[in-house]
Amino acid sequence: MPLLHDTLGIGDLSRLTGVPVRTIRFYCDEGLLDSVRSTGGHRRFDRAAVDRLGLVRRLRGLGLGLTSVRRVLDGERSVGEVVAAERAALDVQLADLAWRRAALRAVEEAGPAERAARLELLAAADSGPAARDAVIDFWRRAMLAPISEGMFAAFVAMAVPEPPVDPTPPQVVAYAELAALAGDRSLTRRLLERARVNVELISDEDALMTGVGEACTLAEPLVLAGAPPRGGPELDRYVAAHAGVRGGRDTPEFRRRLLADVAADREPWMRRYWRLVTEISGEAVTLGSTHLWLTDSLEHSVRTDRL
């Protein structure tokens, strides 16, 4: 600190910066401003305190907490870094508020007969991220076969939609229903039973998912166009993907066995799952809709072969 006669009193500092005296005292007590004491016990500040206090005032004006301000003043983080972090935190808060607002509207708009059930449904999915985490955990538990983290992440990106930033009431209800499906223990048990069988049948889960993904991509234009399930190169690629990891080849008998093996993928709950994903994401075609089209095409192929 400079000599006392070169310093500013707390009143002078307040007048120069527009910051109230009691606020300056608070910043001093919090370690944001340095001062020395005069022989009379009064706080004295050097000229650099004017700029330092101005920076504190501007950062606090943006809503930054004392910890973030202190890190800027101590050189631990730049202004850009703390502002970006604050903005990201605010985005999370705004998304949470948007979810809550849509949930409240969903209850408000429900008829008296369904209001209690909707309230219970939405209370179990208190936020979009929490609901999404529950659905991701559901799929992770349902996959017993070894699968790479990269492949699982790719599957999640297609099968578990991101909560909308500004959701509508129907989207919040749909996501809550999705989370409710994920919490159905009987459903999880059925999927685990199928997974245990698949562990014995399928040699390479990553290869299967890659092949099925290619078949789904081929089927996208047909699903988008509303084409009915049918045979073709899309179904052939789907069957070949399964045959390749099951040590078989594409024959009428293999297709009949495969249809039985994928029966769980065609159950009403799975169709409901993918309808909910479509409603949440707003996408015209999803992984689920193309996969269901392929399994329905397989059923059509098997039925046609029997004629």
Range 264-282 average pLDDT: 92
Residue 101 and residue 162 in one domain: yes
Range 95-106 average pLDDT: 94
Give the domain-ending residue among 77, 105, 139. Answer: 77
Query: What's the confidence (pLDDT) of residue 107?
Result: 94
Angle at CA of residue 200, ends 197 and 205, nearest 5°: 95
Among the ranges given (96-105, 199-208, 262-271), the one the predictor scored with the smallest mean pLDDT: 199-208
pLDDT per residue as tens digits for the range 192-231: 777 777 777 788 888 999 999 999 999 999 999 999 999 9
pLDDT bin (cut points 50, 70, 90) of residue 2 is: very low
pLDDT per residue as tens digits for the range 107-139: 999 999 999 999 999 988 888 999 999 999 988
In a domain, 225, yes or no: yes
The domain that holds 15 is classified in CATH as 1.10.1660.10
Q: Which of 116, 223, 102 is CA-nearest to residue 174? A: 102
- How many other β-carbons are positioned within 10 Å of the β-carbon of residue 21? 14
Residue 116 and residue 10 in one domain: no
Asked if residue 232 has pLDDT above 50, the reply is yes
In a domain, 83, yes or no: no
Q: Which of 268, 86, 78, 89 is CA-nearest to residue 190? A: 268
d(CA 272, CA 270): 5
d(CA 122, CA 175): 9
Tell me the H-state helices in 143-232: 149-159, 169-182, 185-201, 205-225
Are 160 and 134 in contact, with CB atoms under 8 Å apart? no
Give the global pTM. 0.76
Residue 138 and residue 220 in one domain: yes
